[in-house]
A and B are shown apart, each in its own frame.
Chain A
Amino acid sequence: MPYYPETTVVMGLARITRERRLPPNAAPRPSHTLLPGSTAEAVNTVLEGDIFREYRILDVAEELRLRRPSPEQLAEIIMVKEGQRALVGQELARRGSGRRARVLASPAEGQVVLVDGSRIILQLSERTLEIKAGIPGRVEEADSRFVRLTGNGALIQCVWGNGGYVYTSYKFLPEGGFVALSKQDPRISEYRQTVLISPQPVDKGALLVAQQQQIAGVVAPSMASNLREFALQLTFPVLLTEGFGQRRPTALIYRLLQDNMGRQASFNASVPDHWSPDRPEIMIQLPSEGIVPRTPALDQPVRVGAPVRITRAPWDGLVGEVVELPTQPQRLANGLRLPCARVRLPDDRVEWVALANVELLGQPV
C-alpha cells in the first residue's frame, strides 16, 4: 500500500500557482478587480476590501425627540439607505431646518446595514484591507474577492513565519554573525533593507540586532519557542525553515538560497495554520527562458529512490534517499512498531525512519 506523506516544496525551479482571497467578513472594493492575463508584481495590491466591526443602533425618534413618528415622517427625516456608506459626522437624519434643525450625525465611519422603523443600524469600519500578490506572476483568474496568480521561480516552503511579508534581495549573515553585524552603522550598512539568511538558529539578541540594523527580514533554521510571541511583534518577516529549538538546517534549502544570491525574492512569513492553504515560503523569481517549469507535486506516494527530508530527531533536517519500503511495520529504537522506510543518509549510512517522519520535497516523479 503506498504511503502518501506530507510535502514541503523545495524546488530550484517550479511553476507556482497561488490564490489570494479576501476574508469572508470583508466587503470587497470592486473597483480594484484585476483582469485575467494581466501581470502583477509581488508587492502589487491585488485585492482590496473593508473590514467592519461592531454595530451601533441609533434611534432616530429618541435622538431627534420624536414621539411615535409615522413611517412617512421617518421616510422624510432619515437621509440614508441600507447599504450606503456613512462618514464620520455625516447626517443620517434631520428634523426641521435652519438653526433649529435637529440632526443625527454618524458617530463613526461605517455602513448602514439596516433601517428598521425609527432605528438605523450602522456597522463601523475597522480598517481597509489590502492583499498583495505575494509572488510576481500572471493573473489567471480574478474577481472582487479572489485572484489566482501563476509565476515561475525557486520555491522554498518553511515551517513557521511571524506574519510579515517583504519582497527584496537577500544576503547571508556575515562572518562573525550577528555580533559583527551589530557593530556596523545601520545608515550605511550593506545589509540594511535586505533579508538576512542565517544558517544557524537565531536567538533574541540576533532578532534585536536585526531590528536595530533595519534588516528587511530574517530566515533561519530555528529559534527558541519562547521567542515566538516576540517574533510575532516584529515588523519584519521572520521565517523558520525547520522549527523551534536548536534545529539542524536542511542543507538543500540553504544551498538553493546560496545559488540564487543577488536575486529578488518574496519572503512570505505566513503564520502557519493547518486549515489554511497559506504556508510560510520563499519564492525567488527566476526567468523560465521559454520552458514551462513543472508544478510541484503534492499528492505523490513515497517510492524507492525518492529524496525525502527527515523531520524528527535524530536525523531531522537531513535529506536522504529511500532505498527500501518494507510492507511490514518495523520496530524503532524507542520500541514503537511503525511503517518505515530505509533511508540512505548523506553520509551513506542507511537507517530505518518512520514514514510519518519523512516528507517529500515536491519534485515531480
Chain B
Amino acid sequence: MAAEHVNSVLVGDMGSVHTRLVLIDLVEGQYRLIASSRARTTAAPPLGSASIGLEFAARHMSELIGRTLISEDSESLFYMPESSGHGVDAFLATSSAGRPMRAFLVGVTPEISMVSGRRVLGGSYISIVDTLCPDDQRSEEEKINTLLTNQPDLILIVGGTDDGADDILIEQVALVKTALSLIRYGTMPSVLYAGNRALQRRVRELLEPHTEVFVAQNVRPTLRDERLFPAQIELAFAYDAYRSKPASGFQTVGTQSSVGVVPTAQGIISALRYMGELQEQGIGPLFVDVGSANSAIVSTVNKQVQFGIRTDLGVGHNLVSAFEAITLERLRDWLPFDISDDELWDYAQNKQLRPATVPATTEELMIEQAAAREILRLLQDDVRPAWETASDLLPDFQPIIAAGAVLTEAQHPGISALLLLDALQPVGQVDLRLDPHNLVSALGVIAYLKPVITVQAFESGGLVNLGTAFCPLGRVRPSQDAMQIRIRLENGQTFERTVKGGDMWLASMLPGLKAQVTVKLGRGLTINGKRRIKTVVTAGTAGIIFDARGRPFVQPRPRDRAARFMEWQFAMTGRERRPALPVAATGAAAPDQPGEAVPLPSMDDLTAEPLDTMFDLDELEF
C-alpha cells in the first residue's frame, strides 16, 4: 500500500522479555495512539518464534478494542489493509531481542572515518569485536585471522572522502575479500560499505561474489561532514537480515513489516531526530531505556542526535555484567539495608537465569531499582563527551523520557520520578515522561513510512506525563529552608510549603490539573539562573516534584544514607515524614496540616499501599 493511503499502523516491538504492540490511527483528522498491548516474547527456545508472542499481543489488543487484527489468511499474520474498522493499513516491527550482532570495523583513519563507523554501529545492538586500519602493524596472516576467528556477523567498511584517494581503502577491501573467500564453515558475515562513494561499484564487484553487500552513502563525504543516518538505515537492513538467519521467527515477522525488523534503538534515534527537528536550536529531549538485556540513551542537542547503546547492561538477561560494570560498592549507595556481596551476586545470577521474573519482595525491588539508577549513570558517562558540556551536570534536556519496565512500572509514579532524578540529576525545571508502550521507538520507525504520523502522534500525547520536577542548582544546607513553594490551582485554591535542604516533596495532584507554581529558593540556589521562579505546569501521574537535594547532588554520609534514602522513597510516594510547617493557606485546607512528629519510615511502610492523591476531582470545581 502506498504510504499516502496509510492511516492506521500497527507497530510491534519484540524486546528480550516483552513484545509490545501499539496501534496508531487517524481520529478526527489527527494521528493518535489508539491502543497498546503486551505479551511475553517468544523468540527464544523452546518456542523459538517471535511471531507467536506478537500474535498473543495482537489477540489481546483485539479483545481490548473490538477490532480484528489477526488475519485468517495463512500468508499474512495481520489483517491488512484496514477495512470496515478492522485490520490495519501497515505493520512495522522493531526488536532488541536476541544476541547482539558482532561487527568488525574496517576503516582508513582511526580518528576520522573509524570514529564515524563506531558511531554508526553504536546506534544498534552491536558489539564491535575488533577493528582494522592501514596503520595496523599486524601481518596479513594475523589480520585475516583476527577478522575470521572473531566470527563477525557484519563487516563495516568506512574510509576515504567522496572522490578522494582510493588505493588504501581498496587494499583494505581486498583483504576483506581474501578473508571472506576462506570461509568454508560457519556464518558468512555480511558487509556494509559506507566509504568513498566512487568505490561503491568496485566494492560490490569484489565482495558480492562472497556475501551480501549493503551500500550506504559515505559516513564522511568530506573531512568536515559526517552523515550517519544513511548508513544507519542500511545497517537496519543488515540487522534485519542477521535477525532473520537463526530460527527465531524474525524472518516471518520481517516479511510482514514493510521495513523489515528494525533495531528498537534505531527507531528511538529516528524519533528523537524528529523531536529535535520540531524545536528551535538548543537542547532537545533525552530518552533513556533500561531493558532486560540492553540499555540505551539518546539525546538531541542543536538538532544533532547523540546516542549510546550498551548491550552489556540490563536488569534481566545482563544483570551480572551490569553488576560487574556498576561495582557493588556503587550499587550499595542505593540500598538502605545490609546485604552481602555473595547475596547480591546470587540475586544477579538468578535473575539472569530467569530474566522475565519480577521482584517479589521490597528488598529485591530495591536491588533492581538500584541497578537501574547506576545503569543510567553509566549510560550518561558514555554519551557525555558528545554533549560537550563544561560541567558534569546534565544539560537542560526537555523532556526526559524513560522506557523499560524497571523505570515505567515502579510501585508508584513518584518512585519512577525518583529513579530518574537520582540517576540523571537534572537541573532546573524538567518535565519527566514515561514511555511504557515503547511508543517512541514505534513513532521513529513510522517516520520511515509516513513522517506526518510521527509528528502528529507526538503532539497528541501517548507518553505518560510523570510531572514537572524543580531541581535547584547549588549546594543545599541540611535542615535549612531550600524551597518556599506556592501552588495555585485554576480554581483559586492555594497551597504553600517549605522544603528543607536535602529533602524532597511530591505535591500529589490529579494528573492533568494545571497549577501556577512559584518557587523562592534559599541562599546559593537557583533555577535557570534565578532565585525566584513563577511558572504554570500540568501535574503528572506523580504530581509536581520538588527536589531540594541540590545540584551537583552529593550522597549523604554513609551513616545517614539509609535513613535519607528511606525518607526520599517515602516522600516520593506522596507521604510525609516530618510535620509540615504552618502554612498560610489562602484557599482550602493545606495539603498537610502541622501535626505530631512521624517516626522514620521503615521497610514495611514502603510496602504499604500508596496514599491517594491529595486533591480529588470531586472536590474541585472549575
| Residues of chain A having any CB pair with chain B under 8 Å | 1-7, 23-27, 52-57, 111, 113-114, 116, 121, 123, 159-160, 224-226, 228, 243-245, 272, 274-277, 298-299, 311-314, 331-338, 353-354, 356-357
Contacts and interface: CB of A to CB of B under 8 A. Distances in A.
Given A4-B40, A57-B140, A245-B346, A274 B361 contact: no
A99 to B, nearest CB: 31
B71 to A, nearest CB: 19
Contacts of B16: 274
A314 B361 contact: yes
Contacts of A277: 45-46, 48
What 6 A-B pairs come out closest when comparing CB atoms?
A335-B411, A245-B346, A25-B186, A277-B45, A225-B349, A1-B60
Contact of B184 (A54, A113, A357): A113
A7 B362 contact: no
B199 interface: no
Given A54-B149, A55-B144, A336-B409, A111 B360 contact: no
9 contacts: A4-B42, A25-B185, A225-B348, A225-B349, A228-B349, A274-B44, A276-B45, A311-B354, A354-B358
A338 B358 contact: yes
A299 B42 CA distance: 10
B182 A275 contact: no
B349 A334 contact: no
Interface string B249-267: 0000000000000000000
A301 to B, nearest CB: 9
A120 B364 CA distance: 59
A55 B175 CA distance: 14
Interface string B339-351: 0001101111110
Contacts, number: 158
B47 interface: yes
B182 A113 contact: yes
B184 A225 contact: no
Contacts of B350: 225, 243-245
B602 to A, nearest CB: 14
Nearest to A145: B185
A101 B346 CA distance: 65
Contacts of A56: 141
Given A225-B350, A338-B409, A356-B357, 5 more contacts: A23-B186, A27-B184, A113-B182, A335-B415, A353-B360
Contacts of A275: 44-45, 98-99, 246, 248
B46 A55 contact: no
A314 B148 CA distance: 48
B359 A336 contact: yes
B79 interface: no
A334 B182 contact: no
Nearest to A301: B56
Interface stretch (B271-279, B453-461, B550-558, B604-612): B604-612
Nearest to B366: A334
Contact of A357 (B59, B60, B347, B357): B357
B39 interface: yes
A220 B317 CA distance: 23
B151 A25 contact: yes
A5 B356 CA distance: 9
A355 to B, nearest CB: 9
Contacts of A357: 357-358, 360
B586 interface: no
Given A5-B40, A113-B182, A244-B350, A274 B355 contact: yes
A271 to B, nearest CB: 11
A181 to B, nearest CB: 25
B566 to A, nearest CB: 14
B98 A334 contact: no
B353 interface: yes
A225 B353 CA distance: 12
A119 B516 CA distance: 79
Nearest to B61: A1
A333 B362 contact: yes
A332 B343 CA distance: 23
B52 interface: yes
A298 B46 contact: yes
Contacts of A54: 145, 149
A27 B183 CA distance: 11
Nearest to A362: B46
Interface of B: 16, 37, 39-40, 42, 44-48, 52, 56, 59-60, 63, 98-99, 140-141, 144-145, 148-149, 151, 178, 181-182, 184-187, 246, 248, 317, 342-343, 345-350, 353-362, 364-365, 409-412, 415, 573, 606-610
Contacts of B148: 55
A282 to B, nearest CB: 17
A365 to B, nearest CB: 17
A331 B609 contact: yes
B359 A57 contact: no
B342 A225 contact: yes
Contacts of B358: 312, 336, 338, 354, 356-357
A104 to B, nearest CB: 15
A159 B346 CA distance: 14
Nearest to B179: A55
Given A159-B353, A275-B99, A277-B48, A314 B182 contact: no
B409 to A, nearest CB: 7
A26 B185 CA distance: 6
Nearest to B354: A311
Contacts of B99: 275
B345 to A, nearest CB: 5
A226 B346 CA distance: 8
Contact of A335 (B48, B181, B354, B607): B607
Contacts of A52: 184-185
Contacts of B39: 4
Contacts of B187: 24-25
A175 to B, nearest CB: 28
Contacts of B360: 312-314, 332-334, 353-354, 357
Contact of A334 (B144, B151, B345, B365): B365
A6 B353 contact: no
Contacts of A6: 40, 354, 356
A275 B248 CA distance: 9
A337 B98 CA distance: 28
A55 B144 CA distance: 8
Contacts of A1: 37, 56, 59-60, 63
Given A4-B56, A245-B343, A336 B141 contact: no
B346 A224 contact: yes
A25 B355 CA distance: 29
Contacts of A244: 345-346, 349-350, 353
Given A1-B63, A4-B40, A123-B182, A226 B345 contact: yes
A219 to B, nearest CB: 16
Contacts of A272: 353
A54 B144 CA distance: 9
Given A56-B141, A299-B52, A24 B357 contact: no
Contacts of B355: 274
A331 B607 CA distance: 10
A26 to B, nearest CB: 6
Nearest to A49: B185
B428 to A, nearest CB: 30
Nearest to B356: A356
B186 A334 contact: no
A53 B149 contact: yes
A335 B186 contact: no
Contacts of A311: 354, 357
A276 B48 CA distance: 9
Contacts of B357: 311-312, 354, 356-357
Contacts of A27: 184-185
B597 to A, nearest CB: 25
A312 B356 CA distance: 11
A123 B607 contact: no
Among B60, B141, B151, B185: residue with most chain A CB under 10 A: B185
